[in-house]
Amino acid sequence: MLVAENPNLVSKIVSGQNFEGRPLNVLNIMTDPILTAILDKMDIFLEIMVNPDGYYYTHTTNHIWRKTRKPNPGSSCIGIDPNRNWDAGIRSPGASNSPCSETYRGPKAHSESEVKSIVDFVKSHGNLKAFVSIQSYSQMLLYPYGYTTTPCKDQSELHNLARKAITDLASLYGTSYRYGSIINTIYQASGGTIDWTYNQGIKYSYTFELRDTGRYGFILPANQILPTAKETWLALMAIMEHTKDNTN
């Protein structure tokens, strides 16, 4: 629909398929009057639905399902946590080796087609400067690392940019975000997306944990969708502008 309504603005790339055969689509935003300065220098790629099988399952069976839907050999428990399946400290504490766990890491890194398709896209592109993973919930803006307490080499810059981004976010509705490295701000998490992208040389790797802080949790009221999007866009703009101004 986005492509059909904005043919001069948006194009679609099929980056792969997940276990049940649904396509994984990446939208490539080519131009936009508001973002002229950024888009004169860079493209923006949006992976709208990283886990379409899991998303479909939330509409049919379990509204807060988290994992993929691929069977696990030798277990009656289905699926792997896509945010514990990346080749970044995957065997460290912070992910489970139990197929029945919500944070099951899988048999090996990048075993999930949903993850592998993004890995292949990132590697084939070869020149990504920022990577943002958007999740819920907790109202946090996080940067690497999640699997180790060792600070990433760009921690000072990432910390300052996170502070700027959440300040811009709060300017709209006053929503308060915490920020910092994953392991120091939320908990130890291994095999995570942005730890892998950062280790691939994508300096500006961040994860948003969107509204709220626990009152509604994963079942956020629909009337908060647009306010969440509008305030988050301000933070995304801060990250994109900084990336534009600080990369070749």
Supply φ then ψ for residue 222, to 5 degrees: -60, -30
Which DSSP string corresponds to 16-85?
EE-TT--EEEEEEE---GGGHHHHTT--EEEES-S-HHHHHHHHHT-TT--S--PBPTT-S-B---GGG-
Rounded (5°) CA angle 120-124-126? 120
Catalytic residue among 5, 102, 157, 209: 209
Integer Cα distance of 145 and 185 in angstroms: 10
Q: Which residue has the tokens 């479909």?
A: 56
CA distances from 28 to 42, 44, 89, 140, 206 (A): 11, 6, 30, 26, 19
Do residues 103 and 84 lie in contact, with contact meaning Cβ atoms separated by under 8 Å? yes
Integer Cα distance of 142 and 207 in angstroms: 5
Integer Cα distance of 18 and 92 in angstroms: 26
Q: Take residue 183 and report the two structure tokens written for it.
A: 């392991």
CA nearest 205: which of 136, 155, 149? 155
209 is catalytic: yes
- Give the catalytic positions in this structure: 209
